Chain A
């Protein structure tokens, strides 16, 4: 069974640009969550999508948005990039939401904002 895949693996952007990251969950998983990992703030929850609906949202500005498609694939978008958005963005999938299932993480997308 294929794991969670994220594309691209690395991105370099400049301030003010926007970026779209993609996540394909494990087959059959309907919940996709996104996390930001930085040395200073650690791992922080961005949002979760389940069956194409945003289930929960973390404390991030509106420049961070996401969506989920009918095949459970998810994208997140960051507009008007700032230097502080440089981070590893991790996607995680699970079968259910609010259950006891563990989440499976992808390898991440490393975003560098210059």
Chain B
């Protein structure tokens, strides 16, 4: 069975400071890992994904994430947060073997609040 944990319900950061949103995962095989962001009254917007290769993945809007296989983590980072980054962030995993098709298992979400 797949699972994802986002240990922080909320992260508060001052504008211009680095932002980190934590994610750990559990999957039987090799994972596909994704980060999505959700703004109020909107669907989920894709930020980035890890498939294979370089452990540092760069995505949209200046976000990046670091895959760490030994720690089964995939933390989302942004060097300098903006007020407009305030939103709900979801980490998701899918088994690379594909037995479950496109089924994504999501973490519980982390609300990010960037203060001016």
Contact = CB atoms under 8 A, between A and B. Distances in A.
B36 A48 contact: no
B104 to A, nearest CB: 7
Interface centre among B99, B101, B108 (most CB of A within 10 A): B101
Nearest to A100: B51
B101 A98 contact: yes
Contacts of B105: 45
Contacts of B99: 98
Contact-size category for B:
20 to 34
B5 to A, nearest CB: 12
Contacts of A104: 46
A42 B108 contact: yes
Contacts of B98: 97-99
B12 interface: no
A48 B102 contact: yes
Contacts of B89: none
Given A43-B90, A98-B98, A100-B49, A105 B43 contact: yes
Interface stretch (A14-22, A50-58, A61-69, A74-82): A50-58
A106 B43 contact: yes
A32 to B, nearest CB: 9
B101 A102 contact: no
A35 B103 CA distance: 9
Interface string B40-57: 011111100101000000
Nearest to A4: B43
Interface of B: 32, 34, 36, 41-46, 49, 51, 90, 96, 98-109
13 contacts: A33-B104, A42-B107, A43-B90, A45-B104, A48-B102, A56-B103, A90-B43, A98-B99, A103-B102, A105-B36, A105-B44, A107-B41, A108-B43
